[in-house]
Structure 1
Amino acid sequence: MPNYIYWICYLIIINFIAVILTAADKHNAKKHLWRVPENTLLLIAALGGSPAMLLTMYAIRHKTRHKKFMFGIPMIITMQVCFVYYLFFR
């Protein structure tokens, strides 16, 4: 099995986790329950879950007023795209 299959599986899993954590944080915010720490959300984004997290944030309107997320997540995506570009086309 080629190595890139493992990376694809990893990205699918980390993006799924990003969606679940973002939706859970929105749900818990509405119910005044324990929230997912912002640093945890940003870490999951940095580990590869940023595309799904950004789409989920827009879809459920969660964290869209926080500059840390509205500028941070696109910045993370940009850095990830640059990193992948560097790996493949250096």
Structure 2
Amino acid sequence: MRIFITYLVIMNIISFCLMAYDKSQAGKRKRRIPEKRLFGYAACGGALGAWIGMYTWRHKTKHTSFILGMPALLVVNAVLIYWIVKGLQA
């Protein structure tokens, strides 16, 4: 259980930092992080970090795919986390 929680914390920190880095790169007109990668980290457990990062850095907040996609992934993450925790406790 401790490893699972550590994994989730790390994924959310990475997702949050990726949003900050991509915003920074956008401002400098340098190479960006592909949207697939941002969604990939969110789908693998980092949706909360990505969603918080979106609004902290005001990044990708005008893209419909992110406005709808990140909360949807957050719900999927929450359901999967519930099932995994429930399975680990059984």
**Same topology, TM > 0.5:** yes
Please give the per-residue CA displacement for 1:20-51, whole angstroms capped at 9, x wherever unaligned: 11100000000000000000000000001110
Please tell me whether residue 65 in structure 1 is matched to residue 62 in structure 2. yes
Runs (4+) off by over 3 Å: none
Write the mapping of 1:1-90 to structure 2, written as runs, cut at 5 A. Answer: 4-87=1-84, 88=86
Distance apart, 1:68 and its partner CA: 0.7
Cα root mean square deviation, aligned: 1.6
In the alignment, the residues of structure 2 paired with residue 45 and residue 63 of structure 1 have an alpha-carbon distance, to the nearest angstrom, of 14
Q: Percent identity?
A: 36
Whose RCO is larger (CA < 8 A, sep 6+)? 2
**Under a length normalisation based on structure 1, what TM-score does the superposition of the two structures give?**
0.89
- Whichever residue aligns with residue 55 of structure 1, its letter is I
Unaligned ranges ≥5, structure 1: none
Distance apart, 1:85 and its partner CA: 3.0
